[in-house]
Amino acid sequence: DAKTTQPPSMDCAEGRAANLPCNHSTISGNEYVYWYRQIHSQGPQYIIHGLKNNETNEMASLIITEDRKSSTLILPHATLRDTAVYYCIVRPNQGAQKLVFGQGTRLTINP
Amino acid sequence: NAGVTQTPKFRVLKTGQSMTLLCAQDMNHEYMYWYRQDPGMGLRLIHYSVGEGTTAKGEVPDGYNVSRLKKQNFLLGLESAAPSQTSVYFCASRPTVTGELFFGEGSRLTVL
C-alpha cells in the first residue's frame, strides 16, 4: 500500500469549511483514497473514498488532484462534533488484505 | 443488527497471564482485522483474516495469536501478557467487494 503523509494537527473555526490535506505521491493506478475519522477513543468511522474523480456524500467531499498524488477532505460546515483524528489511507479497492493506518491529522473545531 | 461487537470492553491482567479477546460480526463479512492503538498513536495492524479458517500477520504480530474458526468470529489471544501489550484493541470487518471498514468500540487492556 502507498504511504500517506498528513499534518499532525489542524484547527478550524466552527461553521467554516475544514480542509484536510493528504499526500500520497507513490499511489498506484489501482489504489483508492479512503478517509476515516476517530472521535475521542471510539472505533474509527468511514467517511468517504475515491479513485480519481471528486466525490461527495452527506458527510464530506473528497478532492483528488489530477496526478492523484494528493487529496483533500473537505468538511463544508464544521461543527464541534467534527473534532477528531482523521486518517487518510490508500489501497486497492478489491483484493487488498492489509489496511494500514498512519498517524492521521488531529482536527480541532473551535467555537 | 449489532455490527461489530468486542468482548470484553475492559480487562486488567498481570504479567504472564493469558487471555482472549473476542470479535463478533453479524454482517457476513469475509475480512476481519485486529488493530492496537497506543496513547497518542495511530492504529497498528496486528493480524487479519481474509476468510473462515485463514489468518495472516500484520505490522505488529509478535506476542499475539489469532483464530478464525467461524466466519463471524475472530479471536485475538495473548499467551503470556506483557506490560508492552497495554493498549486499546480494535476489531474491524469488511465485506469482500466494498472497502468500507466497520469497527468495534474497542477493548481496553491493561497489563500490570
Residue B48 has its nearest CB partner, among A42, A49, A98, at: A98
**Per-residue pLDDT for A1 more than 70?**
no
Residue B99 has its nearest CB partner, among A49, A85, A98, at: A49
How large is the C-alpha radius of gyration of chain A? 13
Q: How many Cβ atoms sit within 10 Å of the Cβ of residue A3?
A: 13
In the chain, the amino acid numbered A10 is M
Length of chain A measured in residues: 111
CB contacts, 8 Å: B88 with chain A: 41
- Chain A touched by B55 (CB under 8 Å): no
Q: What does the alpha-carbon distance between residue A44 and residue B91 come to, in Å, rounded to a whole number?
A: 10
Residue A110 near residue A11 (C-beta atoms within 8 A): yes
Find, in chain A, the residue whose alpha carbon is nearest to that of B95: A94
Residue A108 near residue A81 (C-beta atoms within 8 A): no
Q: What is the mean pLDDT of residues A21-36?
A: 91
Summarize pLDDT for A61-96 with one digit per residue, the tens. Answer: 999 999 999 999 999 999 999 999 999 998 866 655
Summarize pLDDT for B6-62 with one digit per residue, the tens. Answer: 999 999 999 999 999 999 999 999 999 999 999 877 889 999 998 999 999 998 999
Summarize pLDDT for B50-85 with one digit per residue, the tens. Answer: 899 999 999 899 999 999 999 999 999 999 999 999
pLDDT tier, A25 (very low <50, low <70, confident <90, very high otherwise):
very high
Residue B111 near residue B14 (C-beta atoms within 8 A): yes
